[in-house]
Amino acid sequence: MIRSDRCGEYESSFAEIYLEYGIIHQITIHTHLNLMKLLTKKKLNFEENVEHPTY
């Protein structure tokens, strides 16, 4: 059984896999969006440093 942040519950084949391996999957959309923003910033920063390296 997978529970959503809005108190909903649904079953999925992933739920069986999580149970089998003892995984507690707790990522929220808010967390996911923040993570994507952070990764995008890091990628842009990396690309900037590759194009204009400072020695």
Q: What is the pLDDT of residues 28-49, one digit of tens each?
A: 666 677 788 888 888 888 888 8
Query: Hey, is 45 helix, strand or coil?
Result: helix
Q: How confident is the model at residue 55 (pLDDT cuts 50, 70, 90)?
A: low
Spatial distance between the Cα atoms of 13 and 27, rounded to a whole number of angstroms: 17
How do the domains of the chain map onto residue ranges? 2-51
Query: Hey, is 23 helix, strand or coil?
Result: coil
pTM of the model: 0.37
